[in-house]
C-alpha cells in the first residue's frame, strides 16, 4: 500500500502506463522511470522482472506487502490455478469492488471511503477494506452518505459497469458481485500475474 504523502505515480512511470487509469498520471507524458537516468535502458535479470511484476500487481490493488503475501499464501492453498486464485482474491476485496464499480475515483479513495463507514454490506455497516466479497452479496451506499458529492458522481456509473462480473443499480446506489471473475476479465493492464507466483516460489 502507498502511504499518505508518498508519490503514487513513480511506479506508473516505470511501468510506462498508469496502474489506476488516472487521466492526470504523469506517465502519460513521461512513460519512463523518474530521475536523471530514467530513460536509460537496462538489462533486467529474471529476478528483477519477477519482482517488478509483483510490485505492479500489489500497487494496482493498493495493499501492503503483508496483505499481499497473505493473499498469495491463501491462493496457494486453494484448489485450482494459484495465479487465478490470487487475482480473484484481490479483485473481490471490498475496496476493489468499490473502485471497479466507479463509486470511488481511485483505489486510495475507495479504501478511505470504506474505512470511514460509507458503505453497507447486505444492510450492515462495514469498515474493513480487505473484506472479501462473495457472489450475491450487495454493497450499497449508506443512506447518510448519499448526499455527498462523491456519491452523486459514483452512482452515475452503476448502470453501465465495465466488467461482466459486477452488476449495479444507480437508483438504489448498490452494486453486487454476480460471479467470481476470470483472469482475462480483470482489467489490470500489462501485468503478468504468473511472474508473481514465480517470485514467491523463488524467495
For the domain that residue 163 is a member of, what is the CATH number? Answer: 3.10.290.10
Position 64 scores a pLDDT of 92
Span 142-162, mean pLDDT? Answer: 91
For residue 198, tell me if it sits in a domain. yes
**In Å, how far are 12, 50, 103, 145, 190 from 159, measured between CA atoms?**
30, 38, 12, 19, 27
Q: Is 76 in the same domain as 110?
A: no
- For residue 144, which phi and psi values (nearest 5 degrees)? -70, -20
Contact 102, 154 (CB under 8 A): yes
For residue 37, tell me if it sits in a domain. yes
For residue 184, tell me if it sits in a domain. no
State the residue range of the domain holding 66: 44-88+194-203
The pLDDT mean for the chain works out to 89
Q: Is 99 in the same domain as 166?
A: yes
Confidence of residue 27 (pLDDT cuts 50, 70, 90): confident
Q: Is 103 in the same domain as 120?
A: yes
Q: How far apart are CA 181 and CA 167, in angstroms?
A: 13
For residue 185, tell me if it sits in a domain. no
For residue 101, tell me if it sits in a domain. yes
Higher pLDDT, 60 or 18: 60
Confidence of residue 121 (pLDDT cuts 50, 70, 90): very high
**Residue 105 above 70 pLDDT?**
yes
Span 120-130, mean pLDDT? Answer: 96
Q: Is 170 in the same domain as 137?
A: yes
| Domain of residue 15, CATH code | 1.10.1050.10
- The strand pair at 138-141 and 174-177 is best described as antiparallel
Span 166-190, mean pLDDT? Answer: 93
**Residue 35 above 90 pLDDT?**
no
**Which of the residue ranges 2-11, 87-96, 119-128, 142-151 would you say has the lowest mean pLDDT?**
2-11
Higher pLDDT, 160 or 120: 120
Q: 35 CB contacts (<8 Å, ≥6 apart)? A: none
- Total number of domains constituting the chain: 3
**Residue 3 above 60 pLDDT?**
no
**pLDDT above 90 as % of the chain:** 68
**Residue 108 above 70 pLDDT?**
yes
**Residue 4 above 70 pLDDT?**
no
Position 39 scores a pLDDT of 63
Q: Is 111 in the same domain as 172?
A: yes
Amino acid at each position: 500500500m502507498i502511504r499518505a504523502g508518498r508519490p503514487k505515480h513513480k511506479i506508473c512511470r516505470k511501468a510506462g502506463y498508469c496502474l489506476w487509469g488516472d487521466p492526470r498520471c504523469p506517465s502519460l507524458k513521461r512513460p519512463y522511470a523518474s530521475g536523471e537516468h530514467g530513460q536509460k535502458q537496462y538489462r533486467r535479470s529474471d529476478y528483477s522482472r519477477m519482482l517488478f511484476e509483483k510490485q505492479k500487481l500489489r500497487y494496482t490493488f493498493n495493499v501492503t506487502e503483508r496483505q499481499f503475501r497473505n493473499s498469495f499464501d491463501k491462493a496457494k492453498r486453494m484448489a485450482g490455478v494459484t495465479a487465478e486464485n490470487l487475482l480473484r482474491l484481490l479483485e473481490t476485496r471490498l475496496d476493489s469492488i468499490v473502485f471497479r464499480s466507479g463509486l470511488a475515483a481511485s483505489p486510495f479513495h475507495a479504501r478511505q471511503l470504506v474505512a470511514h463507514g460509507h458503505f453497507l454490506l447486505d444492510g450492515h455497516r462495514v469498515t474493513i477494506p480487505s473484506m472479501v466479497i462473495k457472489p450475491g452479496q450487495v454493497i450499497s451506499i449508506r443512506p447518510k452518505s448519499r448526499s455527498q458529492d462523491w456519491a452523486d458522481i459514483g452512482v452515475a456509473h452503476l448502470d453501465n459497469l465495465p466488467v461482466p462480473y459486477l452488476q449495479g443499480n444507480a437508483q438504489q446506489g448498490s452494486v453486487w458481485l454476480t460471479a467470481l471473475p476470470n483472469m482475462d476479465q480483470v482489467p489490470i493492464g500489462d501485468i503478468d500475474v504468473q511472474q508473481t507466483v514465480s517470485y514467491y516460489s523463488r524467495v
